[in-house]
Amino acid sequence: MKEKLESALGKVVFGIVLSILGIFMILYSRTFPKVRSGGDVMTGPNFFPTIIGILMITFGIYTIIANLRSMKDVSEKVEKNGSSFYKSWEFLTFLIFLLFIAIYPTVINYLGFFIGTFLFCFILMKRLHAKWVTSIVASIIIVFVSWVIFGKIAFIGLPMGIIFTGR
Amino acid sequence: MLSPIMGLFSLKVLIPWILAMIFGIFVGATPGLTATMAVALLIPITYYVDPRAAFAMILGVSFTAIFAGDIPATFLRIPGTPASGVAVLDGFEMNKKGKGALALSIDLLGSALGGLFGILLLIFIAPSLAKFALKFTNFEYFWLGVFGLSMTAIISRGKIVNGFISAIIGLAISTIGIDITTGYPRFTFGNTNLIGGISFIPVMIGLFGLSEILKNLTKKEELGAPTIKGFGKLPFLEAIKTIWNYKLRFLISSIIGVFIGALPGAGADIAAWVAYGAAKNTSKNKNEIGTGHVEGVLAPTSANNAALGGTWIPAFVFGIPGDTITAIVLGAMLMYGLRPGPHIFSQSRNLMNSIFAIGIISQILLIPLGFLGIKASGQLLKSPRNIIWIGVVFFSIIGSYAINNNFFDIYMMLLAGLVGFFLEKLDVPLAPLILGLILGPMIENNLRVGLIKTGGNFLPFTTRPISLTIIVIMFLVLFGGNIISFILRLFRGKNNESSKSIN
């Protein structure tokens, strides 16, 4: 029951975000230059974003209305029990993954591709309960295989690290 | 006729050819590395080999890469190439049911046969189909894009409103970057990384791959389990039987593939979506397609490889590249002194015969090489999930970076992963978002240029014969089933009434 309420509430919030994005698209695209030909205004760069903005607002409002109704029905019967995903080990792991991916570019820029990738692989594998030896061996394999495929075969320039190269 | 073909079986042609095809399997199966990239990487090497070997390498690598993109899409829900986007639907669903090996066997055979069909059509009807494709103007391309987008209604599995929301989000993202008509940067907020627009490979990797891993992190108890289940022998006999049972679907999808491939600017990815949409709407198993049905695997895979043959039609006949791969190859052809155009078939007959033979033999070679690719991936993915997921996350990150050698694409992948995770929680299907992203520029540019041509009048969009035909087909595909069942109900009702009155 609680999940249903969360889902309906989530959809209402999604509808609001969609509508706000639609309004933003329309207003922002009004700042784009107009295209004129012989005095007539032609379809300019704002034409398509405006149509999409209108569609976003329409669907946003529809989502809000459709789910507000179902939210009312459910909230009358809501029971407050059971553990939430947002307080669990899984949620913390979820956040750690996001954080690690977000800081990975900065880390490999400084530490270089080899050390940075190895460290991140190892820490994340340990977080997912992999054994010590497995984590070390698998991390080395991942680093090596990705270096061969991307660095050697596809000629992608992988960062060597500011602390080693000085730039 | 035979001597240029026999020359293909010399070691100096065969060895680079097979090596290139193995390379194509690697590249296609690696998220972030595309078939285009594989061809581009091979071009410098082709300078040092026999011209026939060069064409064999290029054609072979493009066919294998497109197929191999379906391997991670089926096993991990990460499309290896843009043309494999559809394989994340039924292919992945079959894998979840422990039928990943069957899905990929059908995929492999469907790809080889679809590619063969495309090459045969290239040989026999290239000039006439190319002439027809050149009749397409902005009006027709606009409707073709709308037709593709209308597939949202079909692929949304009953969540049509949410599907359209997803497609609209995709269309909105497609407007980011330089406006092609005026050169004005839109929604870039001064960020130079956004000027070229959002590359859809990081978005696809994030949306399907990362979001899937994030979702699986919530299942703590399955961390040590094998990543894929039920992967044993590849059931080739069952796959052949399946393709035989759905031969009409294979034929229709391949024809769709060749036709869309022959349209410059459209490509294997759009062909796969349209073929899937057609299958989902016209098949008698339409309710099962989307939940892991063989027809949902066969339709897109035969269409995307058949489209490759299609893209060569305008390339050879008029020198107009159908997609990025043919654009690169046209450059290489000029380097070998070949001038694409209507006279190419008479002036360079021997080389053209060799190219056609290469196309056919590549499809045959694709089967054993693809088999090895599936086997190797299947064995690898028997490893525990906690190891494979981390590997996949890092391949996705580095693959996103590899597109433009730019960290910004990693952030785009991360953002797409988060968006995908939450959209799925809200019951919003992800596939239409990719459809919107791919078709957005095609729809917008052709609509605007068309409106500029007509002085803002939309009527000419609907009155040209080909436009009108596309509109009618779209209408029939979307509503044909409902109309027929309505007429049947009406007819049955009348019959019942008359039989009652007789009684």
Structurally, how many domains does chain A consist of? Answer: 2
Note whether A139 and A96 are same-domain residues. yes
Note whether A107 and A147 are same-domain residues. yes
Does residue A114 form part of some domain? yes
pLDDT > 90: percent of chain B = 20
CA distance B337 to chain A (A): 28
Q: Which residues of chain B make contact with A155, given a CB cutoff of 8 A?
A: 41
* Residue B254 pLDDT: 93
Note whether A94 and A128 are same-domain residues. yes
Structural domain range at position A13: 2-75
Confidence of residue A101 (pLDDT cuts 50, 70, 90): very high
Q: Which residues of chain A make contact with B161, given a CB cutoff of 8 A?
A: 59, 62-63
Q: Which residues of chain B make contact with A49, given a CB cutoff of 8 A?
A: 172, 175, 186-187
Domain assignments of chain B as residue spans, ordered by start: 16-347+360-463, 471-503
For residue range B198-216, what is the model confidence (pLDDT) as tens digits? Answer: 887 788 888 888 888 888 7
Q: Which residue's entry shows tokens 């922002």?
A: A28
Of A75, A96, A124, which residue is a domain's last? A75
> Which residues lie below 8 Å from residue A61, measured CB to CB, with a gap of 6+?
A15, A19
Does residue A80 form part of some domain? no
Of A45, A75, A105, which residue is a domain's last? A75
With 80 as the cut, is the pLDDT of residue B232 above it? Answer: no
Side chain identity, residue B381 = L
Note whether A33 and A60 are same-domain residues. yes
- How far apart, in whole angstroms, are the C-alpha atoms of residue A14 and residue A59? 10
Residue among B169, B411, B425 whose CB faces A10 most closely: B425
Confidence of residue B498 (pLDDT cuts 50, 70, 90): low
ipTM value, please give it. Answer: 0.88
With 80 as the cut, is the pLDDT of residue B107 above it? Answer: yes
Of A54, A75, A96, which residue is a domain's last? A75
Note whether A57 and A92 are same-domain residues. no
Note whether A69 and A91 are same-domain residues. no
Q: Which residue's entry shows tokens 């590619």?
A: B115
CB A7 within 8 A of CB B426: yes
Note whether A71 and A94 are same-domain residues. no
Note whether A122 and A154 are same-domain residues. yes
Chain A residues 118-137 with CB within 8 Å of chain B:
120-121, 124-125, 128-130, 134
CA nearest to B140, candidates B372, B465, B431, B359: B465
Does residue A81 form part of some domain? no
Does residue A82 form part of some domain? no
C-beta atoms of A18 and B186 within 8 A? no
Please compute the mean of the pLDDT values over residues B5-13 and round it to a whole number.
82
pTM of this prediction exceeds 0.80 = no
- How far apart, in whole angstroms, are the C-alpha atoms of residue B236 and residue B241? 9
Note whether A102 and A161 are same-domain residues. yes
With 60 as the cut, is the pLDDT of residue B106 above it? Answer: yes
CB B115 within 8 A of CB B63: yes
Does residue A48 form part of some domain? yes
- How far apart, in whole angstroms, are the C-alpha atoms of residue B479 and residue B259? 23
Does residue A156 form part of some domain? yes
Does residue A51 form part of some domain? yes
Note whether A109 and A142 are same-domain residues. yes
B175 in contact with A, Cβ within 8 Å:
yes
Please compute the mean of the pLDDT values over residues B9-35 and round it to a whole number.
84
Note whether A91 and A161 are same-domain residues. yes
Note whether A98 and A141 are same-domain residues. yes
Q: What is the 3-state secondary structure (H, E, C) of A17-82?
A: HHHHHHHHHHHHHCCCCCEEECCEEECCCCHHHHHHHHHHHHHHHHHHHHHHHHHHHHHCCCCCCC
Does residue A132 form part of some domain? yes
* Residue B250 pLDDT: 93
Of A152-166, B33-47, B371-385, B456-470, the range with the highest mean pLDDT is B456-470
A64 in contact with B, Cβ within 8 Å:
no
First to last CA, chain B: 74
